[in-house]
Structure 1
Amino acid sequence: ASAYHPKMMTKILLYAYTQKMYHGREIARQLEVHLPLMWLSGFQKPDFRSINRFRSERMKDLIDDLFREMITLFVADGYVKMEDYFVDGTKIEANANRYTFVWRKSAEKYQEKLQANVDRLIAQIEAIVEEEKAEDIDPSPAFTSE
């Protein structure tokens, strides 16, 4: 079989991460039933080994930065509220408030919390990837002759 296109694999990984799907097996399963993932993959169905190999070998150095930048961009544009994604008690003033300005230190602190939350999530994803790698490398028992 020919290799899957890296752009397609990157799209399905980033979308899966935003939907809180981190396990390779779960992503592979969702490629058969989840319409947005099916569309992003062009109706191709890479198996979990291909997904895990792609993110742990080919995209090892880039996927974390891409995910971090995507989340930061979505938050900045107002598409995602981090209160919905991370429950950390951060309070943001509403636009209807008469004090619509935001203190610089407050904005910097919010940005730091955002980066810390994303870093924690990336560490969680990396732990899942390593766990799946360990499960996938199941050596067969050695045969002994008696």
Structure 2
Amino acid sequence: MGRFVQGEDRRQDYLLPASLDDYVSADNPVRAVEAFIDALDLEALEFAGMTPAETGRPAYHPATMLKIYLYGYLNRVQSSRRLEREAQRNVELMWLTGRLAPDFKTIANFRRSNGAAIRSVCSQFIVLCRQLGLFTRAVVAIDGSKMKAVNNRDKNYTAAKVASRMKQVQDNIDRYLDALDRTDREESDIAEPKAKRLTEKIA
């Protein structure tokens, strides 16, 4: 293997382990997700589970679960099972959650219990992205002058059109959450027969 770039030996021990923070660049979007969620008042948004039970196994904080969902929203990961896998192997998500990896059932249950609150957070996140100029081709200009100009339907805005666009954003969020539910249902229908078949083949 001479003359090729060599990887590190996987079994090599290190006296000082590499910091997880070193793997996430300063301009990585997960840092924005972290800052955004840490600034939210989750109690005011009425997230369930903000006060942990005194008995039983400790629960995951709603902020941690929300970070997983928002990461999935940004990266088009719609399945709870896929989010579970990503939390176990994806360095960005490991950094975001502090190496916590909830199982798919916990992730799905969090979404079912907090649908309205998640919709509200997604709306706020979209507004923030617009304010920071992270979306392109979304420029609105208002001027009192009257002049001859191109004024096609896609480039002019009225109060009704703005309300309609806001409704479209809300519908997109609802459609995304419905797709998550549908994906979870389909995967749970498939998982059992597949597991049974594999067990039979192994036997």
CA shift in 2, pair 1:135/1:60, >3 Å: farther
Query: Which AA in structure 2 matches 1:118?
Result: I
**Partner residue, 2:132:** 77
1:3 aligned onto 2:40: no
**Map of 1:26-45 to 2, 5 A cutoff?**
26-45=82-101
Code of the residue aligned with 2:83 in structure 1: it is I
Q: CA deviation at 1:112?
A: 4.0
Query: C-alpha displacement at 1:118, in angstroms?
Result: 3.0
Aligned twin of 1:53: 109
Give TM-score scaled by structure 1 length: 0.64
Q: Which amino acid aligns with 2:179?
A: Q
In the superposition, relative to structure 1, how do residues 19 and 54 fare at CA in structure 2: closer, same or farther (>3 Å)? same
Change (3 A) 1:118 1:50: closer
Secondary structure at the aligned position of 1:13 is classed as helix
- Pick closer, same or farther for the CA change 1:73–1:122 going to 2, 3 Å: farther
Give 1:104's aligned residue: 158
Amino acid at match of 1:104: T
C-alpha distance in 2 between matches for 1:27 and 1:19: 10
CA 1:122/1:54 → structure 2, altered by over 3 Å: closer, same or farther?
closer
1:118-133 matches, cutoff 5 A: 118-132=173-187
Deviations 1:62-109 (A, max 9, x none): 22222233223323432234xxxxxxxxx65699xx98x954355455
What are the Cα deviations for residues 34-89 of structure 1, in whole angstroms up to 9, with x where unaligned? Answer: 22211111111111111112222x323322222233223323432234xxxxxxxx
* Corresponding residue pairs, total: 125
Cα distance in 2 for residues equivalent to 1:61 and 1:134: 26
Gaps of 5+ in 2: 1-56, 142-148, 194-203
Name the CA shift for 1:4/1:92 in 2 (closer, same or farther; >3 Å).
Answer: closer
Which ranges of structure 1 fall in alignment gaps of 5 or more residues? 82-90, 139-146
- Do the aligned partners of residues 103 and 67 (structure 1) sit closer, same or farther apart at CA in structure 2, a change above 3 Å counting? closer
Could you tell me how far 1:129 is from its partner in structure 2?
Answer: 3.8
Find the residue that maps to 1:32 and give its secondary structure: helix
Superposed CA RMSD in Å reads 3.3
Quote the residue 2:123 is aligned against: 68
TM-score when normalising by structure 2 = 0.49
Structure with the bigger RCO (C-alpha within 8 Å, sep 6+) is 1
Who is 1:16 aligned against?
Answer: 72
**What's the % identity of the aligned pairs?**
26
